[in-house]
Structure 1
């Protein structure tokens, strides 16, 4: 099966840039999006054969997540069961027979790290939520996780050290999450692949010179490793400051 995750940086905006044609061409079983930046009833997508699920932020034009899937889930859950963290529409969980699928838009620590304290509340709470799921059945996690884990995951690690997405605290929390029973699927297949990024700043035209960051991921429970076929980053897909990331699996029962 084919899983795709994409931070669209505004679903209404990307729809004006041929999103629906790109969506059809990609033909995923599961298509997860982050940063939808919209409220209920602001957009209606005609996606035949797909079930659509959205989690909206209370603040208008901010955050938000969505999942489009060909496979109707057993259950749908919004949030991570922490009220003070669940008002920004950052997660959706779909339950299937053999796994959970979680899409996540992790909080950005912001300019001058103004939201780092919020981020430091989010990371352990999200990990705790995932570990509870993982006790029940394996988990696939995807989304804009707003951290470049290692120096290989961004173009300029030295000049960006201590900036949002590459602080020691964020990277350590990501290591802790992986060590708790998950794999970074792209690095599982391509541990030494350089200059493969999923986000580029609009401000500096960074995409033209591939000065980017890999902050969009598919993680999976270690027990799923034998069922993972490949992972990829679709750098040729435009429309957002992020590009889609892909996970391919086999023998997963839905």
Structure 2
């Protein structure tokens, strides 16, 4: 809790008023808001996909209070969506897989259109990858057959502080199927 001046949990929606799955942590560090999110994975269960879809709409509505703040705001974490074909190794084979469903990707485009900036994509441009998650099966990480589902999104006030972003592909190798996404800010 060093450097944390405020903290809160959840997004207080009708869907999940008490954030029972611990999906949102909002901390404030001086003027900087860090909103850490772990969005649900839809998986193969239709009920779980409906839960995820409702979360997406609730998140969009809830986060609108932050997008136009004069204070810098970062939304970061595992959003469980590969936004574009550049964010997934095999887009054709995964077009019917939760995390790359057309309506999820359309939601992500709509979300960014409200004023959020994808800092890693701004850094690397319109190229394939880099990926932040790999299945533990089939040597996916070794062959770099991954998905980019981890993001740092910034409002305008945070974007002007942005210096660089990168994925540490070998980071977290022993403990996670995700790689750390590092963003440097001029604060």
Query: Are 1:248 and 2:184 counterparts?
Result: yes
Q: Could you list the runs of 5+ residues in structure 2 that have no partner in the other structure? A: none
Name 1:120's counterpart in structure 2: 53
- List 4+ stretches of structure 1 deviating above 4 A: none
Question: Do structure 1's residue 221 and structure 2's residue 155 form an aligned pair?
Answer: yes
Change (3 A) 1:133 1:226: closer
TM-score by length of 2: 0.91
Q: CA deviation at 1:236?
A: 1.2
Q: Distance in 2 between matches of 1:226 and 1:134?
A: 14
- Alignment length, in residue pairs? 182
Task: Give the counterpart of 2:11 among 68, 72, 80.
Answer: 80
Give the whole-Å Cα distance in 1 for the aligned partners of 2:53 and 2:101.
11
CA distance in 2, matches of 1:127, 1:198: 23
For structure 1, list consecutive stretches of 5 or more residues without a partner in the other structure.
1-50, 52-69
Residues 23-34 of structure 1 mapped to structure 2, 5 A cutoff: none
Return the alpha-carbon distance in structure 1 between the equivalents of residues 156 and 92 of structure 2: 31
TM-score normalised by L of structure 1: 0.68
- Distance in 1 (CA, whole Å) between partners of 2:157 and 2:94 is 34
Q: CA deviation at 1:194?
A: 2.1
How far off is 1:99 after superposition? 2.6
Aligned residue for 1:188, secondary structure, equals helix
Query: Are 1:212 and 2:146 an aligned pair?
Result: yes
Aligned Cα root-mean-square deviation (Å):
1.5
SS of the aligned residue for 2:166 comes to strand
Which has a greater percent of helix?
A: 1
Match of 2:103 in 1: 169
Q: Is the 8 A contact 1:113 1:164 kept in 2?
A: no
* Aligned-residue offset at 1:83: 4.8
* CA deviation string 1:137-177 (max 9, x = no partner): 33101100000000011110011002110001111111111
Q: Secondary structure at the match of 1:122?
A: helix
- Distance in 1 of aligned mates of 2:183 and 2:121: 12
